[in-house]
Each structure stands twice: as C-alpha cells, then as structure tokens.
C-alpha cells in the first residue's frame, strides 16, 4: 500500500472520506443530483441570483465585450473598467470609502490577514472561524490566539496577555457552519480598547443580514468601527470572487502588500459583471432578503416541531448537530432517498464530535417545501434512532 492509499483508507474507515456529487443545471431551489430531482438545501446561492436571467445575461455580455479572462494580475495588465465599477458599487453598498477585489474569499482572507499581521504580532481568531481565516493566520506567521467561540471575555484575557502586540481581531460575521452571529459590538469595543484592528468576514452575512442585506456589521450599526469587511461574491451574490472593504489608505496598502492580490490573476470580467448585476438586483429588490429570512425561520420552526435541535442561530444556515460522522452521513443518505439534499458536514470542516447536517435556506424555496423537508428530516432521524421518536409538536 502506498502512503496515499493508506491515508485514503484511514479516511474511509473514520467516515471522513468525501466524494463529489454531480449537480446538473444551474443552482436553484430544486436540482438534478446524480441524475435525480432533489430539493437543494445546501447551496450558498442564498438569494437565487446565480441563475437569475439578468445575472446570466450580464456575464454573457461581459464575455463578449471584455473576453473570458483578465489576462494578468490587476497590477500588471488585468485591471479593467468592470473591476473598478464593481469596487465602487461594493464600497457604496457596504458604506466604506473603498473596496478591493480578490480572486476568492479564501484568497481575500489569506492575503488580508497576512498583510495586517506579521512576525512578532498577535492575531485573535474565533475558534469557529472559517478555514481560510485559519490559513491566513498561519501564513501571517504572527502568533495566533484562538479565543473560545463568541467569548469576548476570553478574547479580552488574550488581548491583555498580548500586552500591546495585538495586531488584529478577526471573526466570521455569521459563522459558516453554525449560522450564529459574532458578538460584533464586543469585538469592536475590545479592538478600540486595545488598539487592535478588526476584520469581519461577511461571507454568509452579505445578502442575508442587516438593512437590505448589507451584512452583519451594518446590522450591528458598526460600519465606522470595523477596519476591514471581507466578503465573497460566490455566495449570495451568485458569481465568483471576493472583496475587502476598507478606508482608501488601507485599500492602497492591501493592493501593495496582500500577496494573494499581487500575485494572482484578476477576476474574469464575466464573474465581475455577474456580481455587479446581482448587487444591482439586491439593491433594487430588497424583498429577496426578507424572503430568505422568512424561509430560514420556516425551516427552523419545522425542524424544532420535529423535536430536532436546530442550533441557536437565526440566519439562513440551520445546523442539525449529530456528533459523529457515521450517523450524520447516514441521515444525509436517508434524506437523499426522500428527495432532500442537505450535505453532511464532518471534520475538519467542523470540530471533531460535532458533525452535522447543514441546511441552508434560499429565498427561492417555497415555505411549504421547507416545512415538508423538515418533516422528512424528522422522519429519517427517528428511523435512525437519532431523536425522540415523538415529535414535540405536530
Ligand atoms: C465560503 C467562505 C469563504 C471563502 O469564500 P470563497 O469565495 O468561496 O473562496 C471565506 N469565509 C467564509 C466564512 C466562508 O464561508
């Protein structure tokens, strides 16, 4: 057995082996999965914009006008009008002076954290932050203090202990696998008290939280106090790429020092144009955000009525924590048999012992189909002996 074979075998034996499933057609509330029709409950295309006709047309038109690729990094020859236009619109939407596009949310986090913290300084990171933040901290070569999830007291303790070496506090706004929200008011206060910068990742908050979907920072009324707001164009905005919103000075600094910006090709014009069209739709039709919230609430209520613990959050991300990987994947398969696709999430995406089904609602689902999916989840979970056998409410 080669070392690769034995490592793959290890993954299979521990229930952590993953495989790709094939979705046919565009993302939508219902898709064909490996050839079978299913209700899609694990897409981050929360507002249903990835397949929106105006967004598709914008991408197609940009491909015809600007070409398929940008050809180089922005600093060499890849900077085009669509990039500049989208940055201006994103900054205005988020209430910031400026924005800088990155190739993806992963690249935005890795580049921004490493630019803002270096050897000898300390980054403070929530224990449930996204993997791209974890990797950003590693790449920064700063010391990383991982504070307990959402625990401002623990963070405060860490900041005191760092004694002035603190450079950056970084947190997801809405946590990607739990759907709960960071205590942003506390983070902003602590950043101020300790002279640290604050960075918030709005990957799951943009398009979902705050007035008109402006995100968790706007929801908390903290626009002026968060130094960098990072977000992706690949989730609610239905395209691909990412951005960092900041002051003009900080943007200029990132543009010069964030290695994932400097050394990577600019976003392809069709992705940029698609994101811009999505942003315009979001601004013109804020009712999409309301529908997403109502759908998330319906899904949560439906699961609770089945006696299932849907976590403490209130966002469109609705976790059903089951513990071990085995039962989690068994429930995922039972749900698939019933025509519901919600992915089982296992380590290292979540901490060991906290495997879960991560449901995510979309604005384009019907409330009735979400309630039915919740009922099916209850039925399948009881079949597997995973919850009380009697629903708490009908
Ligand atoms: C998805 C995600 C990212 C990565 O964004 P991509 O554009 O998909 O690379 C970063 N942060 C969080 C919290 C995410 O959920």
Q: Are 245 and 232 in contact (CB under 8 A)?
A: no
The answer on pLDDT for 291 being more than 80 is yes
Check whether residue 249 and residue 377 sit in a common domain: no
- pLDDT confidence bin for 391, thresholds 50/70/90: low
Write out pLDDT tens, residues 344-359.
999 999 999 999 999 9
The answer on pLDDT for 394 being more than 50 is no
Atom index in ligand 1 nearest the CA of residue 233 equals 7
Classify residue 133: in a domain, yes or no: yes
- pLDDT confidence bin for 148, thresholds 50/70/90: very high
Check whether residue 24 and residue 93 sit in a common domain: no
Check whether residue 71 and residue 127 sit in a common domain: yes
Classify residue 318: in a domain, yes or no: yes
CA atoms of 278 and 47, how far apart (whole Å): 9
Mean pLDDT computed over every residue of the chain: 96
Classify residue 7: in a domain, yes or no: no
Q: Are 303 and 162 in contact (CB under 8 A)?
A: no
Check whether residue 292 and residue 272 sit in a common domain: no
Q: What is the best residue among 42, 45, 46, 132 to mutate for testing ligand 1's pocket, by most ligand atoms within 8 Å of CB?
A: 132
C-alpha of residue 105 to centroid of ligand 1, in Å: 5
Q: Where are the beta strands (DSSP E) in 275-353?
A: 317-323, 340-341, 344-345
What sign does the CA torsion over 99, 103, 105, 109 have? negative
Average pLDDT over residues 79-101: 97
The answer on pLDDT for 94 being more than 90 is yes
The answer on pLDDT for 218 being more than 50 is yes
The CATH number for 253's domain is: 3.40.640.10
Write out pLDDT tens, residues 51-83.
999 999 999 999 999 999 999 999 999 999 999
The answer on pLDDT for 18 being more than 90 is yes
Classify residue 185: in a domain, yes or no: yes
Domain end among 222, 256, 284: 284
Q: Which domain holds residue 266?
A: 53-284
Classify residue 320: in a domain, yes or no: yes
Q: Is the distance from the beta carbon of residue 104 to the nearest atom of ligand 1 less than 6 Å? A: yes
CA atoms of 90 and 332, how far apart (whole Å): 37
Catalytically active residues, by annotation: 176, 204, 235
Check whether residue 202 and residue 214 sit in a common domain: yes
Q: Is the distance from the beta carbon of residue 45 to the nearest atom of ligand 1 less than 6 Å? A: no
Check whether residue 169 and residue 311 sit in a common domain: no
Write the DSSP string, 195-253. Answer: T-EEEEE-TTTTTTSSGGG--HHHHTT-GGG-SEEEEESSSTT-SS-EEEEE-HHHHHH
C-alpha of residue 206 to centroid of ligand 1, in Å: 12
CA distances from 371 to 1, 24, 258, 299, 366 (A): 48, 25, 45, 6, 9
Q: What is the maximal distance between C-alpha atoms in the chain?
A: 63
Average pLDDT over residues 261-290: 98
Write the DSSP string, 295-310. Answer: HHHHHHHHHHHTT---
C-alpha of residue 77 to centroid of ligand 1, in Å: 26
Q: Are 231 and 206 in contact (CB under 8 A)?
A: yes
DSSP assignment, residue 181? B
Under DSSP, is residue 185 helix (H, G, I), strand (E, B) or coil?
A: helix
Average pLDDT over residues 181-206: 98
Check whether residue 185 and residue 62 sit in a common domain: yes
The CATH number for 304's domain is: 3.90.1150.10
Under DSSP, is residue 166 helix (H, G, I), strand (E, B) or coil?
A: strand
Number of domains in the chain: 2
CA atoms of 214 and 89, how far apart (whole Å): 12
Classify residue 393: in a domain, yes or no: no
Domain end among 284, 309, 335: 284
Write out pLDDT tens, residues 292-324.
999 999 999 999 999 999 988 899 999 999 999
Check whether residue 269 and residue 247 sit in a common domain: yes
Instruction: Please name which of 384, 365, 374, 346 lies closest in space to residue 16, comparing C-alpha atoms.
Output: 346
- pLDDT confidence bin for 260, thresholds 50/70/90: very high
Q: Is the distance from the beta carbon of residue 158 to the nearest atom of ligand 1 less than 6 Å? A: no
* Residue 392, pLDDT score: 56
- pLDDT confidence bin for 27, thresholds 50/70/90: confident
Check whether residue 31 and residue 78 sit in a common domain: no
Check whether residue 242 and residue 347 sit in a common domain: no
Instruction: Please name which of 357, 351, 348, 318 lies closest in space to residue 148, comparing C-alpha atoms.
Output: 351
C-alpha of residue 134 to centroid of ligand 1, in Å: 12
Classify residue 389: in a domain, yes or no: no
**Is the pTM of the predicted complex or chain greater than 0.75?**
yes
Q: Is the distance from the beta carbon of residue 172 to the nearest atom of ligand 1 less than 6 Å? A: yes
Ramachandran assignment for 67, one of left (phi > 0), alpha (psi -120 to 50 degrees), beta (any other): left
DSSP assignment, residue 366? -
* Residue 387, pLDDT score: 75
- pLDDT confidence bin for 393, thresholds 50/70/90: low
Check whether residue 270 and residue 378 sit in a common domain: no
Classify residue 258: in a domain, yes or no: yes
Under DSSP, is residue 146 helix (H, G, I), strand (E, B) or coil?
A: strand
Average pLDDT over residues 103-117: 98
Domain end among 239, 254, 284: 284
The answer on pLDDT for 389 being more than 90 is no
The answer on pLDDT for 390 being more than 90 is no
Structure token pair of residue 269 = 């014009």
- pLDDT confidence bin for 25, thresholds 50/70/90: confident
Check whether residue 170 and residue 316 sit in a common domain: no
DSSP assignment, residue 123? E
Q: Give the count of beta carbons closer than 10 Å to the beta carbon of residue 183.
A: 17
CA distances from 39 to 31, 45, 276 (A): 7, 14, 28
Structure token pair of residue 235 = 């989730």
């Amino acid at each position: 057995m080669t070392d690769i074979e034995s490592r793959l075998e290890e993954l299979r034996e521990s229930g952590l082996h993953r495989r790709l499933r094939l979705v046919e057609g565009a993302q939508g509330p219902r898709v064909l999965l490996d050839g079978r029709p299913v209700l899609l409950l694990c897409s981050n295309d929360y507002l249903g914009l990835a397949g929106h006709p105006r967004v598709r047309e914008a991408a197609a038109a940009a491909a015809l006008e600007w070409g398929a690729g940008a050809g180089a990094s922005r600093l060499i020859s890849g900077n085009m009008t669509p990039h500049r236009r989208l940055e201006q619109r994103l900054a205005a939407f988020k209430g910031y002076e400026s924005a800088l596009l990155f190739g993806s949310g992963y690249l935005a986090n890795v580049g921004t954290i490493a630019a803002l913290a270096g050897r000898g300084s300390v980054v403070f990171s929530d224990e449930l932050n996204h993997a791209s933040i974890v990797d950003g901290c590693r790449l920064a070569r700063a010391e990383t203090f991982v504070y307990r999830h959402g625990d401002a007291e623990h963070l405060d303790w860490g900041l005191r202990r760092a004694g002035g070496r603190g450079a950056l506090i970084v947190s997801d706004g809405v946590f990607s696998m739990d759907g709960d929200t960071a205590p942003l008011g506390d983070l902003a206060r602590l950043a101020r008290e300790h002279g640290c910068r604050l960075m918030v990742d709005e990957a799951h908050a943009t398009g979902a939280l705050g007035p008109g979907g402006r995100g968790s920072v706007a929801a908390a009324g903290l626009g002026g106090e968060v130094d960098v707001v990072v977000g992706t164009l690949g989730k609610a905005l239905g395209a691909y790429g990412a951005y960092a919103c900041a002051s003009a000075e900080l943007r200029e600094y990132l543009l010069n020092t964030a290695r994932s910006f400097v050394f990577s090709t600019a976003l392809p014009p069709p992705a940029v144009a698609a994101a811009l069209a999505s942003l315009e739709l979001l601004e013109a039709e804020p009712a999409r955000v309301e529908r997403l919230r109502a759908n998330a609430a319906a899904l949560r209520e439906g699961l609770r009525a089945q006696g299932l613990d849907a976590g403490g959050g209130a966002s469109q991300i609705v976790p059903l924590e089951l513990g071990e990987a085995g039962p989690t994947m068994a429930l995922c398969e039972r749900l698939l048999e019933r025509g519901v696709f919600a992915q089982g999430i296992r380590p290292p995406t979540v901490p060991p012992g906290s495997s879960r089904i991560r449901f995510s609602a979309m604005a384009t689902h019907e409330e009735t189909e979400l309630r039915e999916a919740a009922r099916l989840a209850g039925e399948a979970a009881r079949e597997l002996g995973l919850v009380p056998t009697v629903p708490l409410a009908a």
